[in-house]
Copies of this chain bind each other. A is one copy, B any other.
């Protein structure tokens, strides 16, 4: 009997011990969930992609645990030891949290606990980070942004070991680390926390995530709706030149969600920053989906978070590299961790789009959570479909209206891709390049957007931060493939002006597989001047590859000098015009980016058709332009006034037309042939165009004819004043009448 009671007592005692987790609720619960863990454990060993990720992550985390915990006193900028160490710590803790549950090995939990206690022991006494460059200095890192990164990841690690810790341990961590940490990046730094900006999204998500894990509704509310907007300085600008606050603007995660993306899912700063911002948006959304189903977060703004993932994937070239619109470092691709997150979450919470599995397979890695196991299981079931990229057109401008956009014309299997930018300014990372474009073949740049002048995380180059030439060169109009009037940048290169305006779509039509076409206008870049640019990607059986027809109409109430640059890459092969190369090289101008261009040659065309051929990546290209005797044809190269060799020495070809008011620039960019240095065979190395001509040009219509070497003439006619698809048009060209329906007509003459 005594024995019986004793057993009963022990039972109750044990039950109470065991019930602690139950009292605190099932954990983890925010991103990785208790249910997810069960699913993963059941599937483990039978889902190759998931198993491979577990093995890789285990190896990585085990090596770090082996190496020992280090939480150094913060000291460095990015690239420096303390920065990279703290960064690595948060990545590893997040992964260790997942491994703890998946592998049921306490060493991962104790590693997280020990690391967190080291942080807790130091955090309260930490002064601001000693590096002073940021408008919002963090404590572990030089900017609050990186502190927010830390908290977004570490919240997940804390969630993972929440039930592993005693109530007392949790109290210590929350009092000494998490709450003051969350307060520092929000209350103490409203300029960081209360903006419509990717920085704030990270801040909001960080505070919200830790709020969800701690069960602190006040933090979650702060994350969702921001700080009260009192005493904000509406004239203050951040390090990149953008305003902190705009009068009347809301703040917090939901406001950022509503403002950052267009209805189509395009992010105003461009895909490079979109892939950075997408992580906090999606990871916190996943947490809210689990903890706050009332918000129906993935349905907000017509499901914009899911559209954003789709847009991001479509804004990458054939290799998966993001198009470098605005400030962007080239080479960033959908193989980055945040896109693995994005693709996994979009699959799991976006209706299971099987094309996403195609990307996930390419990525070769999944998340170690509910979303990741869903992806891996679906792939294992053979559900994968390829993510075929087609021509797309995305509006820019947040939820409250369309503010221009960006279009990608794609040729399909030939892998020619043209990116046409007619967006709004793109916030503080925007470049002054209305109606600019860039061109790719098989994922290689043919006509480039320079990108940004920054070597991210490479300490030797200005600490890895934006370099002065980013402002003086990369953001300037002349650094892009678009029109420059009187050697000044669009909107005078001023953010205050540029951010008030955007270009307007005239039409986009991807319905004809042989003519993918987009047209847009810009009326504010140069007051008194209206530009309309139409770009068509055309397939013709007389041409080996699709070619681009570029028709830029300019209408101005003044006479101007127009420069139209083509930023080609590679080696000049041939021109059909004479040019002189100066014996010494000087800068083409003194400001607005021109100070960075050496003038390497000046030519003039003897005929109305000028032609420049070059070779790049062992393929040939020809730019054929309607440019006559009065046009100067300039060869330039970047590198002037670049005291620290921050710029790449890239060439450009500039068509300069002086004293012109209304005018039109018409060009064909023709990819053709290739060269094989092993067989030493050059195939199709000559252009197929014999003559390019403007055959009609007035207020209502512009028509261009392309004559090929075989004698066939094709014509593109554009209606300049009516883009209605069902409107009928008639036009007489060279004495012959043509009629058609819609804004353009392309035909064999």
Residue numbers of A with Cβ under 8 A of B are 79, 84, 329-333, 335-337, 455-461, 464, 571-574, 581, 583-587, 598, 600-601, 613, 615, 635, 637, 639-645, 648-649, 651, 675, 677-682, 685-686
Q: Which of A79, A337, A641 has the most CB of B within 10 A?
A: A79
Contact, CB under 8 Å: A678 / B573: no
Q: Are A332 and B680 in contact (CB under 8 A)?
A: yes
In the bound assembly, the distance between CA atoms of A464 and B337 in angstroms comes to: 47
Interface contact A677-B598, CB-CB below 8 Å: no
Question: Is there an interface contact between A682 and B584, defined as CB atoms closer than 8 Å?
Answer: no
Given contacts A639-B600, A686-B460, contact A572 B677 (CB under 8 A): no
- Residues A459 and B685 in contact in the complex (CB < 8 Å), given A585-B584, A586-B583, A648-B571: yes
Q: Which residue in chain B gives the minimum CB-CB distance to A586?
A: B584
Minimum Cβ distance to chain B for residue A293 (Å): 34
Extra 8 A-B pairs, beta carbons < 8 Å, given A458-B675, A581-B643, A583-B587: A333-B677, A457-B681, A458-B573, A458-B685, A459-B686, A464-B682, A585-B586, A637-B649
Determine whether the beta carbon of B79 is less than 8 Å from that of A682: yes
Q: A581-B643, A642-B581, A678-B336 are in contact. Are A615 and B458 (CB under 8 A)?
A: yes
Query: With A581-B642, A585-B584, A642-B581 in contact, do A459 and B682 touch (Cβ < 8 Å)?
Result: yes
Contact partners of A584 in chain B: CB under 8 A: 584-587
How long is the Cα–Cα vector from A459 to B679 in the complex, in angstroms?
Answer: 15
- Chain B residue nearest to A334 (CB atoms) is B678
**Complex A-B, nearest 7 residue pairs according to Cβ-Cβ distance, in ascending order:** A331-B677, A572-B645, A460-B574, A585-B585, A584-B586, A460-B573, A456-B680
A567 CB to nearest B CB, Å = 15
Interface majority SS on A: helix, strand, loop or mixed? loop
Q: List 22 A-B contacts (CB under 8 A).
A: A79-B685, A329-B680, A332-B677, A335-B678, A336-B678, A456-B677, A457-B680, A457-B681, A458-B675, A458-B685, A460-B685, A461-B574, A464-B682, A571-B648, A572-B644, A581-B642, A581-B643, A583-B587, A585-B585, A585-B598, A637-B639, A649-B651
Copies of the protein in its oligomer: 2
In the bound complex, do residue B643 and residue A460 qualify as a contact, i.e. CB atoms below 8 Å apart?
no
Does the CB pair B460–A677 fall under 8 Å?
A: no
Residues from chain B with Cβ under 8 Å of A644 in the complex: 572
Q: How far, in angstroms, from A675 to B677 measured CA to CA in the complex?
A: 28
Identify the closest chain B residue to A336 (Cβ): B678
A649's contact among B615, B649, B678, B680, by CB below 8 Å, is which? B649
Contact in complex: B682, A457 (CB < 8 Å)? yes
Report Cα–Cα, A330/B675, bound state, in Å: 12
CA A642 to CA B641, docked complex, whole Å: 22
The CA of A573 and the CA of B585, in the complex, are separated in Å by: 24
Do A330 and B677 have beta carbons less than 8 Å apart? yes
Q: How far is the CB of A255 from chain B (nearest CB, A)?
A: 28
Residues of B close to A572: CB separation below 8 A: 644-645
Complex: how many Å from CA A587 to CA B460? 29
Nearest-neighbor residue (CB-CB) of A335 within chain B: B678
User: Hey, which chain B residues are within 8 Å of A583, CB to CB?
Assistant: 586-587, 640-641
CA distance A459 to B613 in the complex (A): 12
Chain B residues positioned under 8 Å from A681 (CB to CB) = 84, 457
Write out the residue numbers on chain B whose beta carbons fall within 8 Å of the beta carbon of A639: 600, 637
- What is the bound-complex CA distance between A645 and B681, given in angstroms? 21
Expressed in whole angstroms, the Cα–Cα distance for A645 and B583 within the complex equals 13
Interface centre among A337, A457, A679 (most CB of B within 10 A): A457
| Bound-complex Cα distance A335 to B643 (A) | 43
Give Cα A615–Cα B458 distance, bound, in whole angstroms: 10
Q: A674 to B545: give the CA distance in the assembly, Å.
A: 36
- In the complex, A635→B598 CA distance in Å? 16
C-alpha spacing A571/B451, complex, angstroms: 15
Residue picked from A573, A613, A645, most chain B C-beta under 10 Å: A645
Tell which of A458, A601, A685 has the most Cβ of chain B within 10 Å.
A458
Please report the C-alpha to C-alpha distance between residue A572 and residue B467 in the assembled complex, in whole angstroms: 14
- Residues of B within 8 Å of A641, CB to CB, are 583
A337 to B335, CA, bound (A): 37
Contacting residues, chain B, for A586 (C-beta < 8 A): 583-585
CA distance A119 to B455 in the complex (A): 61
Q: Is the CB of A336 within 8 A of B679?
A: yes
Q: Contacts A572-B645, A586-B583, A643-B581; is A332 near B678 (CB within 8 Å)?
A: yes
Closest chain B residue, CB of each to CB of A87? B681
CB proximity of A56 to chain B, nearest CB, Å: 14
Q: Report Cα–Cα, A274/B330, bound state, in Å.
A: 40
- A447, chain B: closest CB distance, angstroms: 17
Shortest distance in angstroms between A21's beta carbon and chain B's nearest beta carbon? 36
Across the interface, do A573 and B461 meet the contact criterion of CB distance under 8 Å?
A: yes
Complex-state Cα separation, A249 to B573, whole angstroms:
42
